[in-house]
Structure formats: structure tokens, C-alpha cells
Amino acid sequence: MTAPRELEHSDLILSSRRPLELRLAKESELGAITSAIDDAKPIKGVIHTWQAIAMVDPVAGAATLRIVGLFEACPWITSDARELSHDRSLVRTRNSVYALGHPVDGTLSPSHLRAVVWALDEWGLADRYGLELMSEIDIERAVHGRHES
């Protein structure tokens, strides 16, 4: 049996044809999108136990920020975070405004990590970057320290 360990976002990408860095967002990146969010758009709902992650394309020199957490009790990842309120209680994405509950410190749960893997595949980023991603089973095994004989 393998010992359980905390997975990092970067662990989700096993290999790639084109580099893509996946990590927690830096304070400077969060600061760059921090602003006053007006109430013009209705709030879609609350994202609980969230973290801001960065998807960085070092070749293009571009980073997008996403919020990963629980929305309506399901793992959730937003599209590009365009604005984050000063008190970090709201985030505006391309099409929605979400309220933010408490952020999570440390690493995300396996369900959060599976949401990131799902999004990379669903949004076409796995194909675009030629990513080989951890499977759901591999995530569970790494987190819980299980392996098959």
C-alpha cells in the first residue's frame, strides 16, 4: 500500500506536448483582478470551500484564473475569473457573478481535483496542450494511498 499524500494541482498533468502550468493563484495575480464589483448582474449562487487556481501558458505568457470549489454541493470550476471583490466575497466570470463562501487552506479534495481534470478535458485544453491527465482512479489512489495488486 502506498502512503496517502496531498496532491498539488501540478500533479494532475502527467505529461504534455505544450507546457501548461497549473497551480494556486499568486496574491499578485489576485490583486490584478481585484476591483469593486457592481450589483448589475444577479448572483448565480455561492461557491463554498474555494481556491483560486492559475492556468499558465508560459509560451504565450498568459495566465487565466479560475475558482474551484463547491457549488450547490457539487465540485465546480468557473470560467475565467475577470474580477474579484476587495473583500473576496464575489467573483465575476465571463458570464456570471458568484458569491464566495469561506476559502479552503491547503490542498483541494479529490472531488475538487476531479473537477479541474474534467474542465481541462471538457474545455478542449487537454487536446490543445496535448495533456495526459491523472484519471479519477489515480487521484483517489494517490490521495488515499491505495493501489491494486
Confidence at 140, pLDDT banded by 50, 70, 90: confident
Q: Is the pLDDT of residue 4 over 70?
A: no
CA 59/CA 98 separation, integer angstroms: 31
pLDDT at 147: 47
Q: State the average pLDDT over residues 134-144.
A: 82
Tell me whether residue 109 is in a domain: yes
Q: Percent of the chain at pLDDT above 90?
A: 56
Tell me whether residue 2 is in a domain: no
Nearest CA among 96, 93, 103 for reference residue 70: 103
pLDDT at 145: 66
Tell me whether residue 103 is in a domain: yes
Least confident residue range of 20-24, 72-76, 103-107, 132-136: 103-107
pLDDT at 3: 39
Q: State the average pLDDT over residues 22-40.
A: 89
Tell me whether residue 63 is in a domain: yes
How confident is the model over 53-84, as pLDDT tens digits? Answer: 999 999 988 899 999 999 998 999 999 999 99
Q: Into how many domains does the chain fold?
A: 1
Q: Is the pLDDT of residue 2 over 60?
A: no
CA 66/CA 32 separation, integer angstroms: 14
Q: State the average pLDDT over residues 79-107.
A: 92
Helices (H), the chain: 27-33, 110-122, 125-129, 136-144
Range of the domain at 88: 9-144
